[in-house]
A and B are shown apart, each in its own frame.
Chain A
């Protein structure tokens, strides 16, 4: 279970202090698939980065399974069972897909096991396992490999920062299928997805609407989604293509 208590985060730019998140409190219970949505600039990605420990809050506390992890760094949180999928996956010269999956799983993963994770994200494993995670891979391929590393980690809490960003329509269909599978097999772990996509919002157990750094609304799909449709908080993929 993840608990955020009175979390605030501010940055300073040109001597002016700007508050990105203000006194935010929320609880994500085990076994839940939660989607955090909201307009651009509402603080969604910052919130995700605070959960992973990439950013430190200005004030407030973060508890994971009852333990105060506010002062812990990225590595310690990862070891406790927090995973994070980057909005823009990182490229590495020389590190291959199999290497990253092995680092993610924390063991000398066999080729066939690694291939299972790649197949799960819709990549033909044989073509990718020895590929370097460099600029020869497209944005969509990188995104899927990023998700495969989280599947390989199988942690108690997985945070995805805009998984749909930068992927094509075909990959998007596949992405939805992956998240539907993850939701089915969630057991006592929990999944937090930062997303604008209606299709992703539709499979949420709970939707959290963030605006101007605070939570505006929390509720089930039926409670929150109808009010969001047509607002800038949720934009349909097809609408964008029209």
Chain B
């Protein structure tokens, strides 16, 4: 059981964003309604409160392998507005998993907003898996706003896999991700986004490949339902012999709106850059196929979206 001082709403949000039902193994820092709700450090992973700014510094010793850091944030009081700065200093040759994410429950009249600024300094040969989920709930008139800003600075031969997911309940979001890669480093981004109601989401990526054989693969899949709108803006710049690929694949439904702007900039003759973008509604034959298996049209639609956002 979770032995932290968190109410039931907070616990359900934690389950949604970080799949946390028990106190996690490894290092963690729980932030609930702008307060520290629990922290644990290990011999290899230290977490310290920032001085002068809200947020934490996370230090991971070189050669740390097989450990994890959970830093979930819960906002369940209406009217909270905060910007939090979390910096990760990841030593050389590490292999760790970092789970972040923010859940907002707003039953009140006032807007709740959490802007998380995450900076990753990834050491040489280190491998990081970063998972970030955003989720909103609550039926108040106050909006649930999340504006995550992520910066990634990758040293030689490091690699980072980022899974970023925002599937439900966030009214407004501006996601900004900046990455700079040195030689031999590799960044793989998998973004999953679904907007509904009159939600607005904007996702910007600026990935710069500065070193030889740096590789980036930025793939976003999104679904825009009801009257929601989305803008996906991904730019990959190649300043060296490198490989870059970005893809935006979207399902549009109801009266949704989607603007996809993949862009590439090559400043080296050996930079190999590709982009793809596709927007379309659910294909009729996909619905019919699942209906021939006994699903209703609504069930078929749900399965298609579930698969698409996997």
Contacts and interface: CB of A to CB of B under 8 A. Distances in A.
B249 interface: yes
A229 to B, nearest CB: 33
Interface stretch (A16-24, A82-90, A181-189, A207-215): A82-90
Contact of A74 (B283, B286, B292): B292
A99 B307 contact: yes
B23 interface: no
Interface in A91-150: 92-96, 99-100, 103-104, 106, 132, 149
A92 B304 contact: yes
DSSP class of B's interface residues: helix, strand, loop or mixed?
helix
Q: Residue among B249, B291, B292 with the most chain A CB within 10 A?
A: B292
Contacts of A54: 288, 292
Contact of B294 (A78, A89, A92, A95): A78
A204 interface: no
Contacts of A240: none
B7 interface: no
A93 B296 contact: no
B3 interface: no
Given A103-B293, A153-B293, A74 B307 contact: no
A94 B292 contact: no
Contacts of B310: 94
Contacts of B306: 94
Contact of B307 (A78, A92, A106): A92
A95 B300 CA distance: 12
A78 B303 contact: no
A104 B304 CA distance: 14
Nearest to A78: B294
A202 interface: no
A103 B307 contact: no
A98 B100 CA distance: 30
B19 interface: no
Contact of B285 (A90, A95, A99, A104): A90
A103 B302 CA distance: 12
Contacts of A96: 307
B294 A106 contact: yes
Contacts of A106: 293-294
B293 A104 contact: yes
A79 interface: yes
Contacts of A73: 291
B218 to A, nearest CB: 17
Interface string B277-310: 0000001011011111111110000011011111
A84 B283 CA distance: 18
Interface residues of A, number: 25
Nearest to B298: A75
B293 A149 contact: yes
A89 B304 CA distance: 15
Contact of A84 (B292, B303, B307, B309): B292
A184 to B, nearest CB: 25
A132 B249 CA distance: 16
B294 A79 contact: yes
A153 B289 CA distance: 13
A83 B292 contact: yes
A90 B292 CA distance: 12
A191 B212 CA distance: 60
B249 A93 contact: yes
A94 B308 contact: yes
Contacts of B285: 86, 90
B283 A103 contact: no
A52 interface: yes
A79 B296 CA distance: 10
A94 B307 contact: yes
Contacts of B288: 54, 74, 90
B284 to A, nearest CB: 10
A149 B308 CA distance: 20
A75 B289 contact: no
A234 B267 CA distance: 60
A99 to B, nearest CB: 7
A70 B297 CA distance: 19
B290 A103 contact: yes
Given A54-B288, A90-B285, 10 more contacts: A54-B292, A74-B291, A86-B289, A90-B286, A93-B249, A95-B304, A99-B307, A103-B295, A149-B293, A153-B293
Interface of A: 52, 54, 73-75, 78-79, 83-84, 86, 89-90, 92-96, 99-100, 103-104, 106, 132, 149, 153
26 contacts: A52-B292, A73-B291, A75-B295, A75-B296, A75-B297, A78-B293, A78-B295, A83-B292, A86-B289, A90-B286, A90-B288, A90-B289, A92-B304, A93-B221, A93-B307, A93-B308, A94-B310, A95-B303, A95-B304, A99-B307, A103-B290, A103-B303, A104-B293, A106-B294, A149-B293, A153-B293
Interface of B: 221, 249, 283, 285-286, 288-297, 303-304, 306-310
List the 4 shortest-distance A-B pairs measured between CB atoms, nearest first.
A94-B307, A95-B307, A78-B294, A74-B291
